[in-house]
Amino acid sequence: MPEPLKLSRRNILQTALVLGVGGSLLASTAGCTTEDRPQELTVAGGESGGFYLEFATLLAGLLQREGVAGRAVAVTTGGSLENIQRVLSGEATLAVALADAAAQAAPGQGESQLVALGKVYQNYVHCIVREDSGIRTFADLAGKTAGVGEVGSGTTLTAGRIIAAAGLSPETAGPERALKQVNLGLNQALDALRDRSIDVMIQSGGVPTAPIAAAAQGTGVRLLDLSEFIPATRAASGFFYDRVLIPANSYGNAPAAWTVGVANLLLCRRDLAEHVVRQTVELLVEQAQDLVPKSSTGVQFLSPETLINTAGVPLHPAAEAAYRALHG
C-alpha cells in the first residue's frame, strides 16, 4: 500500500487556490455583524506538548483574528474522550478528537448531537520502546507494562483495541502474559520509558511529535510495527483503521515503521450556529497554511479533498453546505 499523501504548506495553499475559493471567506465574514458573533469560543485541545493542543491553539488564534468570535481560546485537556464530553456538555464549542472515539459517541448517520466540521489531519499510533530494550516485535511485550495515554484520551481506546487484537489483553492472554496497561500522558510516559518503569509507550499524534523527537535524542528509541493487527482491530471494532508509515529518522535514528492510522476530526454540536460553522470551514480550506503546527510539517494535513472524509461521523449540515459551495 502506498504511503499517505504528504502535503507541504505551499501545496495546500496552491490546491485551495486552484479550487477557486480565495474570495469566499472575506465575503462571508463581512456579512456577519458583531451581534451575530459569539463573544467567546472554546477549542478543546489536549495535553501540554501534544499535537492536539498545538493545533487547537493555532485554530483559536485564527478564529479570533478573523473575527469569527470576539475571543477564542484553546483549552488543555486529557484528549479525545474528554474533548467529546466537553463539546456535548457545552463546555467547549469545538474539539479535536480521534475518529474512532468520535464514531463511538456518534454512531450512524442519524440525528447525532455530535457532528464534524472536517478531518483535519492523519493521526499515527506510535508504539515506542527503548532501543536497548531487546524488544523487537509487539509479541515481545507479553507480560510487560505499557503506558497507554492519559485518562480521557482517545489513545486509551485505540491502544486497548490493538492490544486485544494482538492477543495480549487479560481476557485472551491471561494474567501472566497480558500487557499491563497504565494511564500515562505523553510527558509522563516519556519519563517512565526513560527510567524503565514502563517497557513501551503507546501514543497517538502527528509525525514527528515534538516531545518524542526531543526525548529520542537522549534515549534511543525503536518504533514497533503495528500494521499486522489492523485487520483484526477493524473486525472487532467495526471501525476502519488505515495502514500508515512513520518515516525513518522521524525520531533520532529509529528505522521506519508501519503503524495504525486514525483520522483526527474537528467536532462540534449539531446546534452550533450555521454562520460560525461556515466561517470555520472556510478558514480550514483557505488558510490551511496557518494551521499546520511547525513540529509536524510532514503530516497529511488539511487537504481540501480529504477534509470531508470524516470516517462515518456525520458532517454538520452547514459544513456540508460550505464544502459544496467551495468545491462545486
Is the model's pLDDT at 328 over the cut of 90? no
- Structural domains present in the chain: 9-122+263-327 (3.40.190.10), 123-262 (3.40.190.10)
pLDDT confidence tier of residue 156, bands split at 50, 70 and 90? very high
The partner residues of 41 in beta bridges, in order of sequence, read 72
Burial (CB < 10 A; 0-12, 13-18, 19+), residue 88, is middle
Greater confidence, 6 or 323?
A: 323
Helix or strand (DSSP H, E) at 119: strand 114-130
- Which pLDDT score, from 0 to 100, does residue 231 have? 97
* C-alpha closest to that of 14 among 302, 319, 324, 307: 302
- Which pLDDT score, from 0 to 100, does residue 8 have? 40
- DSSP class of 301: B
- Which pLDDT score, from 0 to 100, does residue 297 have? 53
Greater confidence, 166 or 304?
A: 166
- Which pLDDT score, from 0 to 100, does residue 107 have? 67
- Which pLDDT score, from 0 to 100, does residue 19 have? 35
Percentage of the chain exceeding pLDDT 90: 73
Cα dihedral value 230, 234, 239, 242, nearest 10:
20
Dihedral sign for Cα atoms in the order 77, 80, 85, 88:
positive
Is the model's pLDDT at 58 over the cut of 80? yes
- pTM here? 0.85
Is the model's pLDDT at 113 over the cut of 90? yes
- Which pLDDT score, from 0 to 100, does residue 57 have? 97
Cα dihedral value 203, 209, 214, 216, nearest 10:
50
Name the least confident of 8-12, 40-44, 224-228.
8-12
* C-alpha closest to that of 131 among 216, 195, 11: 216
Name the least confident of 55-69, 175-189, 304-318.
304-318
- Across the range 33-57, mean pLDDT stands at 87
